[in-house]
């Protein structure tokens, strides 16, 4: 009876696969060598035999659908770190992430050289507050070895109901011993766009490119368009990317109409597919722009910063970015399941590749507090003389064109804040120089 079951299953499988092969027969242009029907049939039989052996002889009995799903997972896993099978839970999780709300610890993870590597912690989440950093490698999840599990499996283990705990063992460059983090899960509601004001500079922080980002940035730019903003800082640090369309729309807000935003290429294309800016700038190019990036800036963040750099629209400051320039597409395969496959590569307007290269900033600045020197024990200035001449010019407060009274305190950046962030201070300093130069 068991043999009959195997035979029936195998014949069904063969019929399905054979029909699918005919349906998806590649064009001669898309393969290096066209296999003959006999050769293709031989390869299918090899797969058929492997599945048959697992179903009949594997030490533990497995459902047929579980075997098929595991074969799909394994096949995609060996292509690249981003191609994967998504079950119903995985498809739901992907939708939650792009919509900006999900249950978990709050970081984006990827496979880098076969290791589960943190691309970036999401600001104001449990992982961020616990001290998880970009570049951390996950060694264990709740005591289970995480060095050889798939990306999809790792995400499933780390997501869960709010107020439940997950224990991560982390390997960090520069640390001699593994670090253990006990993190309590929460509902991760990512507010992807925030703004602050420093004097006459508008600071916009983008934490990820979800489906609302470009519209939120647009609203902020409109809000401050006529309020004498003299400089803009666009902070893409620890932004792991997101939706390609949102990266394009965001770039469109800053570069001139008709400029190339991004190019792409897949195995069937004869040349580059180019995407152009379609709208006029909300803020003129006379307003200088600085973009902050670091190793946690990936994918969509690299498209935006690279586009701005290639068109000389702004100055890029910080550290070299992650270097993810591949394109993934989700295919629905029924039963609320899907397959995510890498289908192409991104290229910047100049033709530069992002993949494994990243964006090198115009000004390299490390992510550290501003170095300060202790005040000298003895310091003596002109004003310290008892009989020094007094300044007879009446003190006056320069009227600021930007009405700070209408901006909430939490949205104001102070000089004290800048001392904690050398990269941001460098951005403000560069903008100050550019603003003064434009006034000459």
Active site residues: 299, 310, 324
DSSP state letters, 67-117: HHHHHHHHHHHTT-TT-EEE-HHHHHHHHHHHHTEEEE--EEEEEETTEEE
C-alpha–C-alpha distance, residues 261 and 346, integer Å: 11
How many whole angstroms separate alpha carbon 144 and alpha carbon 109?
17
**E strand or H helix at 311, and its extent?**
none
Which helix (H) or strand (E) is 19 found in, with range? helix 2-23
Closest CA to 68 of 27, 111, 20: 20
* Residue 209, beta-bridge partner list: 242
Q: How far apart are CA 81 and CA 130, in angstroms?
A: 26
Residue 287 vs residues 19, 65, 230, 363, 433: alpha-carbon distances, Å: 59, 58, 6, 19, 12
Kind and range of the H or E run holding 346: strand 337-347
Side-chain half-sphere CA neighbours of 115 within 13 A: 13
Task: Return the sign of the alpha-carbon dihedral for residues 336, 78, 112, 261.
Answer: negative
């Amino acid at each position: 009876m068991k043999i009959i079951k195997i035979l029936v299953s195998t014949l069904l499988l063969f019929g399905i696969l054979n029909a699918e092969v005919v349906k998806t027969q590649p064009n001669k242009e898309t393969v290096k060598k066209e296999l003959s029907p006999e050769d293709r049939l031989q390869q299918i039989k090899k797969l058929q035999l492997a599945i048959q052996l697992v179903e009949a002889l594997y030490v533990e009995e497995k459902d047929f659908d579980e075997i098929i799903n595991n074969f799909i997972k394994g096949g995609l896993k060996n292509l690249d770190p981003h191609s994967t099978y998504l079950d119903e839970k995985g498809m739901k999780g992907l939708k939650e992430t792009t919509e900006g709300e999900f249950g978990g610890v709050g970081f984006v993870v990827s496979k880098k050289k076969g290791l589960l590597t943190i691309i970036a912690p999401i600001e104001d989440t449990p992982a961020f507050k616990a001290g998880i950093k970009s570049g951390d490698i996950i060694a264990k999840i709740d005591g289970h070895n995480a060095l050889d599990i798939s990306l999809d499996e790792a995400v499933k283990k780390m997501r869960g109901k709010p107020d439940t705990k997950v224990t991560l063992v982390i390997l960090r460059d520069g640390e001699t011993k593994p670090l253990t983090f006990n993190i309590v899960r929460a509902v991760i509601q990512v507010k992807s766009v925030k703004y602050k004001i420093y004097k006459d500079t508008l600071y916009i922080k983008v934490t990820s490119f979800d489906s609302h980002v470009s519209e939120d940035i647009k609203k902020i730019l409109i809000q401050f368009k006529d309020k004498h903003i003299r400089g803009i800082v666009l902070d893409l640090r620890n932004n792991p990317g997101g939706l390609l369309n949102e990266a394009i729309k965001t770039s469109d807000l800053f570069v001139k109409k008709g400029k190339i935003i991004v190019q792409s290429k897949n195995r069937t294309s004869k040349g580059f597919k180019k995407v152009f800016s379609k709208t006029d700038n909300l803020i003129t190019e006379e307003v200088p722009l600085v973009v902050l990036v670091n190793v946690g800036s990936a994918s969509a963040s690299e498209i935006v910063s690279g586009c701005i750099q290639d068109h000389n629209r702004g100055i890029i400051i910080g550290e070299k970015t992650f270097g993810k320039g591949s394109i993934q597409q989700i295919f629905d395969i029924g039963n609320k399941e899907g397959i995510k496959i890498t289908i192409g590569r991104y290229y910047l307007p100049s033709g530069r590749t992002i993949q494994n290269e990243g964006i090198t900033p115009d000004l390299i600045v490390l992510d550290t507090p501003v170095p300060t020197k202790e005040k000298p024990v003895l310091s003596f200035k002109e004003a310290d003389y008892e009989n020094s001449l007094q300044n007879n010019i009446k003190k006056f407060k320069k009227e600021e064109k930007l009405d700070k009274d209408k901006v909430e305190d939490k949205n104001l950046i102070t000089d004290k804040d800048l001392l904690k962030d050398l990269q941001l201070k460098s951005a403000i300093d560069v903008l100050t120089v550019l603003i003064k130069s434009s006034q000459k």
